[in-house]
Structure 1
Amino acid sequence: MLRRLLPALLVLVWILGAGPLGQFAGKLGDVASNDSTTFLPASAESTEVAKLQKGFEQSGASPAVIVWETAGPVTAAQRDAAAGALKSLAGSPDARGAASPPIPAPDGRALQAIVPLRADLAEPDQAIDRLRAAARKVPGTTVSITGPAALRADLGGAFAGIDGILLGVALGVVLLILLLVYRSVLLPLVVVFGAVLALGLASAIVYQLAEHGVLDLNGQTQGIMFILVVGAATDYALLLAVRVREELAGGGPAREAVRHAWRRSLAPIAASAGTVAAGLLTLLFSDLNSNRALGPVAAIGVGCALLSALTFLPAALALLGRAAYWPSRDLSRGRGLWERLGALIARAPRRIWIVTAVVLAAFAAFLPLLKADGIAQTDTFLNPEPSVQGQKALARHFPAGSGSPVVIITREGAVQQVAKAVQADPAVSEVRPTMDGDRPKVVDGRVELSATLKVAADGRAAEDAVARLRHDLRAVPGGDVLVGGYTATEYDTLRTAERDRTVIVPIALAVVLLILILLLRALVAPLVLIATVALSYAATLGVAALAFDGPFGFPGSDPVVPLFGFVFLVALGVDYNIFLMTRVREEAAEHGTREGVVRGLVATGGVITSAGVVLAATFGALSVIPLVFLVQISFIVAFGVLLDTLAVRSLLVPALVHDLGDRAWWPGRLARRARPEKEPVDAASGR
């Protein structure tokens, strides 16, 4: 009796337990932060400067720069009106200190003022709107607002509604694909509902961890988690659903079919989820807090997807039985294409894997064209955001670095030497100390200097200036100089991301290789699989380089883009390797490796392809967020998954393993089988 009630109890527990947790998906934005300084490692120089700044005036401030442009020379009335508008901001809860007076442009056709806003504002976009409303009281002017505070507000706007828009697009695409592929009514709904329940559980766990300061959460991590949970839950559900369909085709009772399918699917699904989680957890070796947070957040999401696929879905399928696949009548359909492909691979395996490898290598040849050394903050938006337009307005009339100065902290006794060295840099317009009345303010024997750059604060030239200043100021005796500020934060973020890429890539490969060796109990096959994943990744980046520089016209990429692409494609590529090779190994134990390859391809080809299309579509949904970084990640993962699914997993890997035969399992037991296999077919003749 209990065995009959167990499926209903499991479904009820999920609906009543995880269902209400879906509200946390909409609350994650409340515990997320997009302040780039908080993502830096504690050892970064700009982070040390940010800590020391707390002792000076306007600590914890994020400057907003108001620019008033006029058609002709600025009049005295306009200057007075600007001063009045700034005075009206005094005492505002949004501000952290007093605004600067209106500063006339050298060309006499603009004014600017710097308003220090609180860096911890929960809704910076609303503060910018209030600032803009006050600034518009100046007659005969066009008002623009830029600076770090405005950029942060626009960034927050890009992530606004991420929980609703992104999730709606992802689930809608998944549901449509499942309906078209499986031509059943209930199965797609059950799979999507299971993914939603998994996402609710994952969101609740991540929310609690972020709220209690265990991990840092930002908009991009939140969006990637949404996509990963939906994609992983759907993948695992499809693998189990196909196994159930195979069992039901034999004519047995639904509960028995689900039980047998669950037992046969448990190992590959659990191994796949474990490998994906382990690959993502290599991001813990990152020095960027944002990257470190993504590892456990994504791993939590994969774990919740696994739990849903192994509990809710089989319970639902046991209750629905054959009705889950209605109106499809033939539950054994869908193998014809894969049987023909398997026969083709069996005839000429060597020719197929060589041709496929050469094509992938040709794509990979374009990899050096990928520009992944960073882009300006104002280039991160796909749309012409107000802060970007404001930066252009500022650059038309003032030194482009106005409002986002380089911050230099030095010892009191070395102030004059440091100031002189800073002013000598060709990119510096002016340098001034933070004042306490009529003298520089001293905190713990240190003085703060602000250097305004002639170049845009978020560009390559500004970052080069930071690097020069750090190098030159080390020579000042007794200065103990630290260089920070907005530009330095961006510079440190880029350098740290480059370091992470160098460290994490080999660690991820080693971790995944070790798991494959333990899972397949062999050495040759795991090495072959890792090599194919690496080749697929290189080919994907080669195509991305052509696409980004061509049709998309992107100015470049952040160094973290190829790193994230690598981690996701390696983890997810191995995911499909496990789906395929565990089935091949199962078949090889009974029929031999070469026949096992064909049988494994026929059995898993349809589900792997379906899962790949679904996962590519879900990651493609990231492109609804108008940020270059996420659109690039979306393209790389979506294209890479499709390439991996349609070429690597369908052609390259089966052909390679077929060509190797039992040697693929060396030094495992299957490589020492008593009966020899047939010799490999001749690659030239195909016979």
Structure 2
Amino acid sequence: MHRQIAGKLTGPVTKWIVLVGVLVLLGIFGSLAGKLTSVQNNEAESWLPQSAESTQAIKRLEAFQDPNDLVTTVVYYRESGLTDEDLAAIETDATEIAKIEGVSNVITPQGAQTAGIPAPYVSEDGQVAKLDFTINRGDALWEDMPDVADEIRDITAIDGVEVYVAGAGGTTADQAAAFAGMDGRLLLITLCAVVLILLVSYRSPILWALPIFCAVVSLGIAMGVLYLLAKYADMTINGQTQFIMTVLVIGAGTDYALLLVARYREELRRHEDRHEAMAFALHRAAPAIFASASTVVVGLLCLMFAELNSTAGLGPANAVAVAVTFLVMVTLLPALLVICGRWVFWPFIPRFGTAEPTESGFWARTGNRIAPRPRKVWIFTTIALLVVALGALRLDTSGIPNDETYVAGHDVESVAGNELLVEHGLVDASSPIQIVADTDQADAVVGAMDGIEGIQQATVVAEQDGTSLILANLTADPLDDQSIEAVHEVRDAVHSVDGAHAQVGGWTAVTIDIEEASSRDNKVVIPIMLIAVMLILMGLLRALTSPLILIGTVILSFGAALGLSGLVFDLVYDRPHTDPGFPLYAFVFLVALGIDYNIFLMTRVREETVTKGTRRGSLIALASTGGVITAAGIVLAATFGALATMPLTFALQIGTAIALGVLLDTMIVRSVLVTAINLDLGGKIWWPHALDRKPPVVPPEDTSDPAPEPESVTV
């Protein structure tokens, strides 16, 4: 049946139907792809679980403030001390800033003193002063804030004074500027890396264009589909989901293309008619590609069990993207290859009747070196990976502080401004602790916070419908350990006030809730995903032992990847802190993608075992799939490595971890560890199936479909 379907998809007429059909879909959904950014939801509430205290506080805060209000701080610094003329200029600046569209509640040093605001606006040493204001431009604020920041810089320029746009508004401006055009740049960098690798792998100046074109088509269709799902089906899409999707689609799509093209090249040597060759190639490669894509899709869907909304939303969106990529790669790519003909492989065109390369390549030699002492090899490799995994102890998943949000060497104005405020004893009022409580107990709530270190005196700032808003400014960076401990103490204190129904929000509280939700998700989602992948492997290999072995090796590979990452983050990047969701993201992608290569290898082992036995079949499988899998691993590592070009620490870390993990998996775990275990255990890996408990079955000669010879891919 598979062969019949494959033949119908790649026939002399149907190839054109497939081409036109996919291009029509691209026209429909691709036209919507550019709108995906417009339906992103990057608000804090969209990332948090509904049950989190900070989420509930955000909802109650809507009665007191517009969620689009953004407090911005302008920081003035003169090393020799601000002069009276400087302070007078700040008052003049405030008048001009108040004229900017959406600006309100401008507070200057003089205005704060007049209003009796207890928080100082000029440092004791006289070197630093600040000006606060609120800006609101509705949903357009993210796009507008970089321009607003530029306008403020023009207004506040004073000779000899360094001026920084900081606070929540400055942070938003810097983040928006960093992301501006990033999707396009990331796509371009990813494609350039993949093109270079394909040029080396295929040794053809033409062939690389087809997988790249199909990958771009996959991305365009997937983005259009996700736009509709986000707009009409309430699917959560945020910036993090979108940039991960870009590299995932390009990387996974190219991997599938490598496997299919390698099979097609084999069959072109056996079949004179290229349509027939593609029918056989698609028949053989599609099941492995389907199993690979299914593993990734199921692994991503397991994220739906996450409590953290940002994590739960990332899974379904990327699962849809991978499913679209699979469909495009087994329809459009075969059609294009058949339409183009053999010449697309130029200058190394696979001619009909020519011999396939023998088992004498690098991976064949690697297998022959493992074969004499497989047990020693897999034991030594396992110990080495366990030692490397100890580096994970250096990872700190408590969250990325403000001064580490961006990669080293990337100077960020808002970070520098916030640091100046802290160093000179001023308070960043843009990220206070926000407490909502019943009005009749508001005074008791304020009193309960007396004496808590790390916060200023709490004050009631508003009351509405029996609920009061209480603010307490932090005396340190909102993500500093001192601030986090202070929020914990505030929560304990206000929760102890009977009848207050007090809830604590604010950026620090949000960070705490994200960390707690991430910890819960790690304990819940990881086991669910392992079970799901295990079931897929059992169905594919029709065995129990080999799936257990493969799951074990992937977990070991993940641990080693975290270990390497911990060392690199700390010793090379000088960014030891990671996002609380980092371990789960790394696990999902490394396990889902790492198991792909084991699927490619083990399906070939099983195929060869039928006629040659497990040990001989393992060597043949390693030799014949080694080049393809290595090239696929390098492609995937390069695509995720492209995330390291982004200025954000989280992108740098997740890209580095996945790239290291994929290379580790393809070069060591899959090629050395799994092969050594197969050679050591032999037919026992197929238990309880009787696949290798009887003499190999030698099939009758089939000249129309001979057994595949080892394939070679230059890497």
Q: Aligned partners of 2:233 and 2:44: how far apart in 1?
A: 17
Q: Is the 8 A contact 1:334 1:606 kept in 2?
A: no
Task: Please report the RMSD computed on the Cα atoms of aligned residues, expressed in angstroms.
Answer: 2.3
2:381 is aligned with what amino acid?
Answer: T
1:406 corresponds to 2:406 = no
Q: Is the 8 A contact 1:26 1:164 kept in 2?
A: no
Higher alpha-carbon deviation: 546-555 or 103-112: 103-112
Q: Aligned partners of 1:168 and 1:60: how far apart in 2?
A: 33
Residue number in structure 1 paired with 2:709: none
Q: Aligned partners of 2:519 and 2:659: how far apart in 1?
A: 23
Q: Is the 8 A contact 1:46 1:492 kept in 2?
A: yes
Higher alpha-carbon deviation: 36-45 or 391-400: 391-400
Residue number in structure 2 paired with 1:685: none
1:117 corresponds to 2:138 = no
CA displacement, residues 48-98 of structure 1 (integer Å, 9 cap, x when unaligned): 111111111455422111122345555555444433432334464433x42
Q: Aligned partners of 1:309 and 1:302: how far apart in 2?
A: 10
Q: Is the 8 A contact 1:284 1:292 kept in 2?
A: yes
Q: Aligned partners of 1:116 and 1:50: how far apart in 2?
A: 18
Q: How far off its partner does 1:213 sit? A: 6.2
The alignment partner of 2:397 has SS state of coil
> Scaled by the length of structure 1, what TM-score is found?
0.93
1:359 corresponds to 2:384 = yes
Residue number in structure 2 paired with 1:55: 63
Residue number in structure 1 paired with 2:710: none
Paired residues in the alignment total: 669
Residue number in structure 1 paired with 2:122: 105
Q: Is the 8 A contact 1:353 1:655 kept in 2?
A: yes
Residue number in structure 2 paired with 1:448: 469
1:392 corresponds to 2:419 = yes
CA displacement, residues 498-518 of structure 1 (integer Å, 9 cap, x when unaligned): 221122111111111111111
The alignment partner of 1:550 has SS state of helix
Q: Is the 8 A contact 1:148 1:486 kept in 2?
A: no
1:324 corresponds to 2:344 = yes
CA displacement, residues 428-464 of structure 1 (integer Å, 9 cap, x when unaligned): 1232221xxxxxx321211111101111122222111
| Unaligned residue ranges in structure 2 (runs of 5+) | 1-7, 113-120, 698-715
Q: Aligned partners of 2:689 and 2:526: how far apart in 1?
A: 28
Aligned match for 2:262, one of 235, 242, 247? 242
Alpha carbons of structure 1 residues 458 and 400: separation in structure 2 relative to 1, 3 Å: farther
Alpha carbons of structure 1 residues 72 and 423: separation in structure 2 relative to 1, 3 Å: farther
Q: Aligned partners of 1:586 and 1:312: how far apart in 2?
A: 27
> Scaled by the length of structure 2, what TM-score is found?
0.89
The alignment partner of 2:107 has SS state of coil
Q: Is the 8 A contact 2:610 2:696 kept in 1?
A: no
Q: How far off its partner does 1:675 sit? A: 6.6
Alpha carbons of structure 1 residues 257 and 456: separation in structure 2 relative to 1, 3 Å: same
Aligned match for 1:86, one of 77, 83, 94? 94
Q: Is the 8 A contact 1:26 1:163 kept in 2?
A: no
Residue number in structure 1 paired with 2:273: 253
| Unaligned residue ranges in structure 1 (runs of 5+) | 435-440, 677-687
Residue number in structure 2 paired with 1:655: 676
Q: Aligned partners of 1:337 and 1:457: how far apart in 2?
A: 54
Q: Aligned partners of 1:77 and 1:213: how far apart in 2?
A: 57
2:362 is aligned with what amino acid?
Answer: L
Q: Is the 8 A contact 1:431 1:450 kept in 2?
A: yes
Q: Is the 8 A contact 1:144 1:393 kept in 2?
A: no
Q: Aligned partners of 2:153 and 2:33: how far apart in 1?
A: 32
Q: Is the 8 A contact 1:19 1:197 kept in 2?
A: no
Residue number in structure 2 paired with 1:6: 14
CA displacement, residues 96-115 of structure 1 (integer Å, 9 cap, x when unaligned): x4223434314134332221
Q: How far off its partner does 1:198 sit? A: 0.5
Aligned match for 1:430, one of 449, 457, 460? 457
Q: Aligned partners of 1:109 and 1:602: how far apart in 2?
A: 69
Alpha carbons of structure 1 residues 58 and 258: separation in structure 2 relative to 1, 3 Å: closer
Q: Aligned partners of 1:146 and 1:48: how far apart in 2?
A: 27
Q: Aligned partners of 2:52 and 2:387: how far apart in 1?
A: 39
The alignment partner of 1:41 has SS state of coil
Q: How far off its partner does 1:21 sit? A: 4.5
Residue number in structure 2 paired with 1:231: 251
Q: Aligned partners of 1:73 and 1:116: how far apart in 2?
A: 27
1:29 corresponds to 2:73 = no
Aligned match for 2:223, one of 156, 179, 203? 203
Q: Is the 8 A contact 1:378 1:458 kept in 2?
A: no
Q: Is the 8 A contact 1:605 1:650 kept in 2?
A: yes
1:263 corresponds to 2:290 = no
- Please list, as runs of the form range in 1=range in 2, the aligned pairs for 1:366-377 lying within 5 A after superposition: 366-377=391-402
Q: Aligned partners of 2:616 and 2:159: how far apart in 1?
A: 82
Higher alpha-carbon deviation: 227-236 or 476-485: 476-485
Q: Aligned partners of 1:251 and 1:135: how far apart in 2?
A: 74
Higher alpha-carbon deviation: 61-70 or 176-185: 61-70
Q: Aligned partners of 2:80 and 2:567: how far apart in 1?
A: 45
Residue number in structure 1 paired with 2:72: 64
Q: Is the 8 A contact 2:454 2:476 kept in 1?
A: yes
Higher alpha-carbon deviation: 159-168 or 640-649: 159-168
Q: How far off its partner does 1:593 sit? A: 1.4
Q: How far off its partner does 1:398 sit? A: 3.6
CA displacement, residues 269-315 of structure 1 (integer Å, 9 cap, x when unaligned): 10110011111111111122211111012111111110111001111
2:217 is aligned with what amino acid?
Answer: L
Q: Is the 8 A contact 2:418 2:428 kept in 1?
A: no
Residue number in structure 1 paired with 2:316: 296
Q: Is the 8 A contact 2:456 2:475 kept in 1?
A: yes
1:162 corresponds to 2:148 = no
Residue number in structure 1 paired with 2:645: 624
Q: Aligned partners of 1:28 and 1:548: how far apart in 2?
A: 32
Higher alpha-carbon deviation: 418-427 or 273-282: 418-427
2:367 is aligned with what amino acid?
Answer: G
Q: Is the 8 A contact 2:401 2:577 kept in 1?
A: no
The alignment partner of 2:457 has SS state of strand
Q: How far off its partner does 1:581 sit? A: 0.8
Aligned match for 1:312, one of 332, 351, 356? 332
Q: Is the 8 A contact 1:283 1:504 kept in 2?
A: yes
Residue number in structure 2 paired with 1:347: 372
Q: How far off its partner does 1:392 sit? A: 1.6
- Please list, as runs of the form range in 1=range in 2, the aligned pairs for 1:454-533 lying within 5 A after superposition: 454-533=475-554
2:13 is aligned with what amino acid?
Answer: L
Q: Aligned partners of 1:180 and 1:140: how far apart in 2?
A: 55
